[in-house]
């Protein structure tokens, strides 16, 4: 018999794991970019602690030695279940025997998409580099203004969402404010910078045990972050955000709340949940189609507690392994045992030597948790090169507080009236 | 007496050296970017061997410990000699007692500026990242086309200019073609790629001894590069270039010939040479103004042989030290000994374990020259961090041929009809 054709959509943690684990079948891995992105560290690119190249890995080199995998840089426009075809933006359609759908998610604004331009989020490298550009430019501009004029106004960052991303961003910004600004921007003392973390719920990091949430909150406050709990956002404009009944003026608002699964999933025409995820069956397939799998952030898959599993790397990776096994063994639906997520624990970092970790009953915080966090993240990075680079950057930053990736490049294409505007896009 | 105010325009090798060496005076260092760029390795960013962060260094961290230096990210619009002022695009004008003008140069098209869009050059990070984007995209597109359709057309790169930059680019591209393409782009065999190096003069690397030029040419040919000598370019369009009487079809033309000094220099209203450089006096000052210095690529400064010194880092660095000494000692014009360039030798690399070096009578080539080249470039990089990163990248690339910086990022702002076009701007 001829080899089965497996098409994998998306090279995130889930899709990458499938493509690396499938044997004895031809795999076509499709992604809009040419690299795998280590999303958990994306906020460090956004805060200039790491360079894009440190947490991204070219797919072609990842699969160089795996001859059954073909990498395609293209975007899937729709999935034709009946015809067993995926339609692409730039190439002819590709047929499949088995399809793995892992397109991930984007940030969502609870029906207020008009907020996006004023409160960007960070889901991919484009977002992260844009945010870094904005942060560095506003530092430079404020320094220039305070140094050359008598306007001594400060700088306020508002981060919406007290989940891991929001907390890690707030911590990283506070670190820059406390340690970098004062050294590098003489006219911009730390007290000129205020960082406000806004959470609609009663506590931050609600996925963690309450005691750890409290520890994290205390650590953030010690670093100078203002935390506003039970404070839903009701309006965002270019010059500020309405939090509860309070208007906070700020031109630097970052969105770290809410996800929406890829619009591509609609073309499967099967039931989706409120945030656009496909409600998958216990074997991660879609209804009535045992060889179309949906995994990662795109899948609504209930955990032990009945609540859908969180959109984190370990879930996507374990789902990828599970699906790859079914494919490798050709297990028919009747013989499939349901996917069960093994929760190996949760980690969140707040800043330098500050983190919380929860392994079932075991709770750890402070330096030890931070070291565990560093180790785990280094370990899960793909490839020796990136591990060494990231470790080097962290050690370097830990001792010097010199962010190596704080780069702004000139935009020559800028309009003549704003010639020294920069293009941080380029970094 | 109050401290003298020294204004330095440009944070290239010359300007950076002055700012780092001046003592007992207030220094304002102005640059359009926020970093110092190690230009000699820019072609490695353009060919995805290094990341932008590897060869760029944030100015504020460079001068963190030097309290007499203030860094300003802005663009100088004009110099007012009479009023002892520099006028800036975004800030109020700044007065100076002593001015050091080191704005560098851009590539020039011998009066054919209409060629630029079809044959970009690489002078700054924006150029380099753009070129990398173009190269990676054309690889991806050709691979996609050859894999999914029956169009098996090849890929031709034309590099105009046989100086060090052109030679290093040609070598790096040939390396990618030979070692990377075949491994990462299965549908794109090395023979599908042709690299043509075009030189108007009778030999490449004319700055070197003829025997070394020949060695370099042989090395390039062995790597698969086609060299066309005595071949002036007479026309460049979006689909090809006219070389002598031959039309070479190519959509990938890179400009590595000709420089033009910064247009800012005109505002000094003193004599300039044909490529816009200021014809400086023996002490690197402009006529009738002993405290306005012009150094680096912006200065026309005759060497021993009477020919103007080349626009290379060692010249700019030595000029920077010379000027800093005059400033530190307050040497009056009558007591100044003229600037004399100490030529410590020339290096050019062709590719992996391939380089040529010329130290006066001593000529070296091959692996030894390449190791010297590596050592010298690592040594002159600023800061331990970048040294380690670049060394790591080179060792890694040397053994694996996996370029770590081959990254393309999605451009969401793209027009809906070309959604999977990418924004390599973001890298």
Active site residues of A: 168
Contacts of B34 in chain A (CB under 8 A): 136, 140, 406-408
The residue among B27, B32, B15, B104 whose CA lies nearest residue B75 is B32
Q: How far is A173 from chain B (nearest CA, A)?
A: 17
Contact B53 A53 (CB under 8 A): yes
pLDDT score of B412: 54
Contact A89 B420 (CB under 8 A): yes
Of all residues in chain B, the one with the smallest CA distance to A88 is B420
Which pair of tokens denotes residue B30? 């102005």
Contacts of B87 (CB under 8 A, 6+ apart): B76, B77, B78, B79, B80, B93
CA atoms of A425 and A407, how far apart (whole Å): 10
Contact A74 B420 (CB under 8 A): yes
Q: State the catalytic residue, choosing from B133, B168, B175, B393.
A: B168
CA atoms of B131 and B256, how far apart (whole Å): 12
pLDDT in tens, chain B (427 residues): 578 999 999 999 999 999 999 999 999 999 999 999 999 999 999 998 888 988 999 999 899 889 999 999 999 999 999 999 999 999 999 999 999 999 999 989 988 999 999 999 999 998 999 899 899 999 999 988 888 888 888 899 999 999 999 999 999 999 888 878 878 888 888 888 999 999 999 999 998 999 999 999 999 999 999 999 999 999 999 999 999 899 999 999 999 998 899 999 999 999 999 999 999 999 999 999 999 999 999 999 999 989 999 999 999 999 999 999 999 999 999 999 999 999 989 999 998 889 999 998 899 999 999 999 998 888 888 777 788 888 888 887 777 777 777 777 765 543 333 333 333 333 3
CB crowding A410-426: b at 16 or more within 10 Å, else e: bbeeeeeeeebbbbbbb
Nearest to B420 among A58, A75, A426 (CB): A75
Contacts of B406 in chain A (CB under 8 A): 34-35, 58, 60-61
pLDDT in tens, chain A (427 residues): 578 999 999 999 999 999 999 999 999 999 999 999 999 999 999 998 888 988 999 999 899 889 999 999 999 999 999 999 999 999 999 999 999 999 999 989 988 999 999 999 999 998 999 899 899 999 999 988 888 888 888 899 999 999 999 999 999 999 888 878 878 888 888 888 999 999 999 999 998 999 999 999 999 999 999 999 999 999 999 999 999 899 999 999 999 998 899 999 999 999 999 999 999 999 999 999 999 999 999 999 999 989 999 999 999 999 999 999 999 999 999 999 999 999 989 999 998 889 999 998 899 999 999 999 998 888 888 777 788 888 888 887 777 777 767 777 765 543 333 333 333 333 3
Q: How far is B221 from chain A (nearest CA, A)?
A: 27
Contact B34 A404 (CB under 8 A): no
pLDDT score of B49: 87
Contact A91 B144 (CB under 8 A): yes
pLDDT score of A153: 81
How many inter-chain contacts (A to B, CB under 8 Å) are there? 199
pLDDT score of B424: 36
Contact B34 A403 (CB under 8 A): no
Nearest to B408 among A33, A61, A412 (CB): A33
CA atoms of A45 and B70, how far apart (whole Å): 26
- Which residue in B10, B29, B49, B73 has the most chain A C-beta atoms within 10 A of its own C-beta, making it the best mutation to test that interface? B73
Kindly report the CA angle at B14 between B10 and B16, in degrees rounded to 5?
Answer: 65
pLDDT score of B216: 96
Contacts of A396 in chain B (CB under 8 A): 384-385
CA atoms of B170 and B239, how far apart (whole Å): 20
Which pair of tokens denotes residue B2? 């109050």
Mind giving me the DSSP string for B248-262? EE-SEEEE-S-EEE-
Which pair of tokens denotes residue A280? 């998958």
Q: How far is B142 from chain A (nearest CA, A)?
A: 11
B145, B417 Cβ separation under 8 angstroms = no
Contacts of A426 in chain B (CB under 8 A): 52, 125-126, 129-130, 425-427
Of all residues in chain B, the one with the smallest CA distance to A77 is B419
Helix (H, G, I), strand (E, B) or coil at A361: coil
Contact B140 A404 (CB under 8 A): no
pLDDT score of A351: 87
CA atoms of B115 and B205, how far apart (whole Å): 23
Kindly report the CA angle at A384 between A383 and A387, in degrees rounded to 5?
Answer: 95
Of all residues in chain A, the one with the smallest CA distance to B32 is A420
Contact A186 B136 (CB under 8 A): no
Which pair of tokens denotes residue B198? 């075009």
Encode pLDDT of A322-352 as tens digits. 999 999 999 999 999 999 999 989 999 998 8
Q: How far is B209 from chain A (nearest CA, A)?
A: 37
Q: How far is B130 from chain A (nearest CA, A)?
A: 8
Of all residues in chain B, the one with the smallest CA distance to A427 is B427
Nearest to A60 among B34, B52, B185 (CB): B185
Residues A294, A295, A299, A305, CA torsion sign: positive
Kindly report the CA angle at B194 between B188 and B198, in degrees rounded to 5?
Answer: 160
pTM: 0.87
Nearest to A408 among B33, B91, B420 (CB): B33
**How many alpha carbons fall within 13 Å on the CB side of residue B181?**
27
Verify whether residue B393 is a known catalytic residue. Answer: no
Nearest to B64 among A149, A183, A408 (CB): A183
Contact B35 A126 (CB under 8 A): no
Q: How far is A61 from chain B (nearest CA, A)?
A: 6
Q: What would you report as the CA-atom Rg of chain B, rounded to the nearest whole angstrom?
A: 22
pLDDT score of A417: 34
Encode pLDDT of A164-196 as tens digits. 999 999 999 998 888 788 788 888 888 889 999
Contact A408 B130 (CB under 8 A): no
Contacts of B146 in chain A (CB under 8 A): none
The residue among B393, B415, B395, B413 whose CA lies nearest residue B404 is B393
Which pair of tokens denotes residue B300? 């026309």
Contacts of A176 in chain B (CB under 8 A): none
Of all residues in chain A, the one with the smallest CA distance to B391 is A389
Q: How far is A147 from chain B (nearest CA, A)?
A: 9
Nearest to B184 among A64, A126, A148 (CB): A64
């Amino acid at each position: 018999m001829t080899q089965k054709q497996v098409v994998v959509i998306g090279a995130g943690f889930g899709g990458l794991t499938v493509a690396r684990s499938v044997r004895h079948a031809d795999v076509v891995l499709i992604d809009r970019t040419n690299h795998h992105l280590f999303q958990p560290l994306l906020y460090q690119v956004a805060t200039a602690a790491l360079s894009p190249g440190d947490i991204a890995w070219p797919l072609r080199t990842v699969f160089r030695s795996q001859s059954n995998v073909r990498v395609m840089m293209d975007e899937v426009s729709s999935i034709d279940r009946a015809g067993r075809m995926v339609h692409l933006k730039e190439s002819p359609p590709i047929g499949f025997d088995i399809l793995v759908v892992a397109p991930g998610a984007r940030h969502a604004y609870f029906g207020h998409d008009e907020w996006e331009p004023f409160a960007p989020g960070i889901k991919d490298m484009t977002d992260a580099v844009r945010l870094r550009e904005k942060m560095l430019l506003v530092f430079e501009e404020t320094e220039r203004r305070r140094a050359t004029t008598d306007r001594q106004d400060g700088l306020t960052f508002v981060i919406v969402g007290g989940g891991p991303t929001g907390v890690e961003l707030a911590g990283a910004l506070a670190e820059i404010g406390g340690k970098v600004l004062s050294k590098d921007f003489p006219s911009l003392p730390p007290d000129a910078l205020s960082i406000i973390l806004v959470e609609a719920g009663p506590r931050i990091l609600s996925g963690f045990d309450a005691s750890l949430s409290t520890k994290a909150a205390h650590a953030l406050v010690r670093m100078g972050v203002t935390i506003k709990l039970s404070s839903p956002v009701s309006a965002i404009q270019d010059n500020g955000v309405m939090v509860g009944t309070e208007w906070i003026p700020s031109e630097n608002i970052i969105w770290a709340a809410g996800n929406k699964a890829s619009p591509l999933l609609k073309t499967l025409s099967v039931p989706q949940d409120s945030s656009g995820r496909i409600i998958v069956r216990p074997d991660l397939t879609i209804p009535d189609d045992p060889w179309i799998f949906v995994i990662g952030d795109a899948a609504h898959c209930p955990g032990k507690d009945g609540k859908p599993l969180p959109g984190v790397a370990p879930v996507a990776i374990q789902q990828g392994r599970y699906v790859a096994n079914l494919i490798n063994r050709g297990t028919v639906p009747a013989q499939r045992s349901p996917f069960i997520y093994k929760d190996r624990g949760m980690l969140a970092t707040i800043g330098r030597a500050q983190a919380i970790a929860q392994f079932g009953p075991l709770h750890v915080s402070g330096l030890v948790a931070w070291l565990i966090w560093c180790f785990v993240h280094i370990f899960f990075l793909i490839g020796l090169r990136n591990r060494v680079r990231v470790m080097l950057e962290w050690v370097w930053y830990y001792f010097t507080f010199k962010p190596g990736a704080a780069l702004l490049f000139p935009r020559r294409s800028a309009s003549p009236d704003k010639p020294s505007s920069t293009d941080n896009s380029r970094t």
